[in-house]
Amino acid sequence: MILQYKGINIFYTDQGKGSAVVLLHGFLENTSMWNEITPTLTKKNRIICIDLLGHGNTECLGYVHSMELMAEAVAAVLKHLKIRRSTFVGHSMGGYVALAFAEENPDALKGLCLMNSTASADTPEKKENRDRAILAVKQNHKSFIRVAITNLFRPKNRKIFSDKIKQIRKEAQETPLQGIVAALEGMKIRNDREALLHFTPFKKMMIAGKKDPVLNYNLLVEQTENTEVELITLPDGHMSHIENKDALILEIMRFVENLK
């Protein structure tokens, strides 16, 4: 479905009945990343998947898509659907957007699951890497996407899931150059939101890959210490919805059920 927002189209899907669960994809992904997870979740819940700004079938809104700007677009979809409270599951960049939404609308959340994501801001080194990525994208965005997608998987899984990787790359190639750069710029300037792991009224869970090539697992463990965040460790990489799909579905189902 399409929502007109600030002169652009936002694409979303709305399936099932019950408690509302909002699924937010990561960088270079779109709503299709949830295709193998939604059939189970929709049995008992209302599942809303949203293409974030400049991704999938949602158009760009300027040249920097801050996490706050993306969160405002998500809020517009939920307002349009008359959903007052929901549970968010955000993968990677989707987690950053979910945190930005939670900061602005803490009472609108029943629960928040950060999936292969972090509440920390980018380190100076990571910011430099984003700048390098922006240059690489502008020079050859197809080559950038090919490498970026492969690097999300645990090395030993790159062969096992080679067909999936090809499919994800093919879809990611549809992401417009402006959307890729705007997201990189937005992630680079995002705020540290670790305080939200401590001082918010909703339930929180973090799903971390022990061998995540993108996020430092030990730092994620540290992030959850002395908080009420439930930490779930899966054995593989950044793409838990593929590398540890069955375990991931069970954990999300359990988390959502416990909020009812």
Domain 2-257 annotated CATH 3.40.50.1820: yes
Q: Quick one: DSSP state of residue 161?
A: T
Where are the strands (E) in 160-247, listed by range? 203-209, 230-234
- Can you give the pTM of this predicted structure? 0.98
Write the pLDDT tens digit of every residue in 12-66. 999 999 999 999 999 999 999 999 999 999 999 999 999 999 999 999 999 999 9
Cβ neighbour number for residue 170 with a 10 Å cutoff: 11
pLDDT at 260 over 90: no
Q: Which amino acid is at 104?
A: E
226: its two tokens: 């002395």
Write the pLDDT tens digit of every residue in 148-172. 999 999 999 999 999 999 999 999 9
Domain extents in the chain: 2-257
CA distances 66 to 36, 111, 112, 185, 226, Å, are: 28, 23, 20, 7, 29
Residues β-bridged to residue 61: none
At which residue do the structure tokens 């993968």 appear?
91
Q: Which amino acid is at 243?
A: E
The secondary element (H helix, E strand) that includes residue 5 is strand 2-5
Of 187, 168, 162, 164, the residue nearest 100 (C-alpha): 187
Computed over every residue of the chain, the mean pLDDT equals: 97
Of 45, 47, 16, the residue nearest 31 (C-alpha): 47
3: its two tokens: 């929502």
Q: Which amino acid is at 8?
A: I
